[in-house]
């Protein structure tokens, strides 16, 4: 922890966020910082709004009909719900990894360079370089370098999840959102993905949703505890897991419910 407080920068900031799915009030006045090059974890019982809040950070909720959002989500100095924000640009800057790996039914190589191709790039040499760099970044280059033309769907699950991370890295996001990225993985694969997250945090800002409190305490710098759509407590991970300020947090982390 060489950082002093003064050097820590808010990469994103959620301020007074409310979200409705139709009439259902799913997030109530949620505020939290997302600090640059740190890992922020969202924990809480199933249905408390973790995934909903995560999706607000790159406006994935826009895709769900009947959703209404008020409040602010700042990315650097810009409100991502403001007029000036281009959503496709936002989703490049704030990318997402899902619960189940979702590689496309294409080769490993084509998966990684997919975003570049969609963006119109055709230069093979440049794409080869990006593919190598991204696969190295996701710690799978050595494993796949001799079989880049193989179908991504033939990879083991944890490699599929890394490939999804590599696919994100190829478009050089600033923030990576992960929604229970290890829930389909066994403990060893989980450990490897956690190590990768710690490495990625050197260059990226990460927000992870997890139902696994041990995971939150192992990998994250900050933790937000949510309950029934509210942010009950947001604090240093160590504080949340050792001496939380709120009684509700303490009840949850000591396993009284959830
Ligand atoms: N697309 C949706 N339409 C209506 N309600 C939803 C939708 N997605 C989630 N919800 C509801 O919003 C609440 C929060 O869900 P979610 O964010 O998925 O919680 P978590 O990720 O913490 O399990 C739950 O009550 C859930 O049923
Ligand atoms: Mg969820």
> What's the CATH code of the domain at 116?
3.40.50.300
Ligand 1 centre distance from Cα of residue 49 (Å) = 6
Phi, psi of 63 (to 5 degrees): -80, -10
- Structural domain containing residue 137: 5-253
**Cα 98 → chain centroid:** 8
Tell me, yes or no, whether 32 lies in a domain.
Answer: yes
- Nearest ligand to the CA atom of 180: 2
The pLDDT, as a whole number, for residue 8 is 74
The pLDDT, as a whole number, for residue 119 is 87
- Which tokens belong to 231? 């942010």
Query: Tens of pLDDT along the chain (258 residues)?
Result: 444 555 678 999 999 999 999 999 999 999 999 999 999 999 999 999 999 999 999 999 998 999 999 999 999 999 999 999 999 999 999 999 998 899 999 999 999 999 999 889 999 999 999 999 999 999 999 999 999 999 999 999 999 999 999 999 999 999 999 999 999 889 998 998 999 999 999 999 999 999 899 999 999 999 999 999 999 999 999 999 999 999 999 999 998 765
Tell me, yes or no, whether 258 lies in a domain.
Answer: no
Tell me, yes or no, whether 89 lies in a domain.
Answer: yes
Considering only CA atoms, which residue is closest to atom 3 of ligand 1?
21
Tell me, yes or no, whether 103 lies in a domain.
Answer: yes
Q: Is 50 in the pocket of ligand 1 (CB under 6 A)?
A: yes
Ligand 2 centre distance from Cα of residue 115 (Å) = 25
Q: What is the pTM of this model?
A: 0.93
The pLDDT, as a whole number, for residue 151 is 98
- Which tokens belong to 232? 């009950």
Tell me, yes or no, whether 135 lies in a domain.
Answer: yes
Tell me, yes or no, whether 182 lies in a domain.
Answer: yes
Listing DSSP states for the chain in one string gives ----GGG--EEEEEEEEEEEETTEEEEEEEEEEEETTSEEEEE-STTSSHHHHHHHTTTGGGGSTTEEEEEEEEETTEETTSTT--HHHHHHHEEEE-SS----SSBHHHHHTHHHHHTT---HHHHHHHHHHHHHHTT-HHHHTT-TTSBGGGS-HHHHHHHHHHHHHHT--SEEEEESTTTTS-HHHHHHHHHHHHHHTTTSEEEEE-S-HHHHHHH-SEEEEEETTEEEEEEEHHHHHHS-SSHHHHHHHTTS--
- Which tokens belong to 168? 């994100």
Tell me, yes or no, whether 96 lies in a domain.
Answer: yes
Strand partners for 21: 24, 67
The pLDDT, as a whole number, for residue 73 is 98
Q: Is 4 in the pocket of ligand 1 (CB under 6 A)?
A: no
- Total domains in the fold of the chain: 1
The pLDDT, as a whole number, for residue 6 is 54
Q: Is 26 in the pocket of ligand 1 (CB under 6 A)?
A: yes
- Which tokens belong to 230? 């509210």
Ligand 2 centre distance from Cα of residue 50 (Å) = 6
CA gap 197, 191 in Å, rounded = 10
Contacts of 139 by beta carbon, 8 Å cutoff, 6+ apart: 162, 192, 196, 199
Tell me, yes or no, whether 202 lies in a domain.
Answer: yes
- Nearest ligand to the CA atom of 64: 1
The protein residues having their C-beta less than 5 angstroms from ligand 2 (an ion) are: 51
For residues 171 and 90, is the Cβ–Cβ distance under 8 A? no
């Amino acid at each position: 922890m060489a950082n002093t407080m003064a050097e820590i920068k808010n990469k994103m900031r959620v301020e007074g966020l409310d979200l409705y799915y139709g009439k259902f009030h799913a997030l109530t006045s949620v505020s939290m910082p997302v600090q640059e090059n740190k890992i922020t974890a969202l924990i809480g019982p199933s249905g408390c709004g973790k995934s909903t809040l995560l999706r607000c950070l790159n406006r994935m909720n826009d895709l769900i009909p009947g959703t209404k959002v008020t409040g602010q989500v700042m990315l650097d100095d810009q409100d991502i719900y403001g007029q000036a924000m281009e959503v496709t640009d936002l989703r490049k800057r704030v990318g997402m990894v899902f619960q189940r790996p979702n590689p496309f039914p294409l080769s490993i190589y084509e998966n990684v360079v997919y975003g570049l191709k969609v963006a119109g790039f055709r230069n093979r040499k440049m794409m080869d370089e990006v593919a190598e760099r991204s696969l190295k970044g996701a710690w799978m280059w050595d494993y796949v370098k001799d079989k880049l033309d193989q179908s991504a769907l033939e990879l083991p699950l944890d490699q599929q999840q890394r490939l999804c991370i590599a696919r994100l890295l190829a478009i050089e996001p600033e923030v990576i959102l992960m929604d229970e990225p290890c829930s389909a993985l066994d403990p060893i694969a989980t450990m490897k993905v956690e190590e990768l997250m710690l490495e990625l945090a050197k260059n990226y800002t990460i927000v992870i949703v997890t139902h696994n409190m041990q995971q939150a305490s192992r990998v994250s710098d900050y933790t937000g505890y949510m309950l029934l759509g509210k942010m009950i407590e947001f604090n240093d991970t160590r504080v949340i897991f050792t001496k939380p300020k709120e009684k509700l947090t303490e009840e949850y982390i000591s396993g009284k419910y959830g």
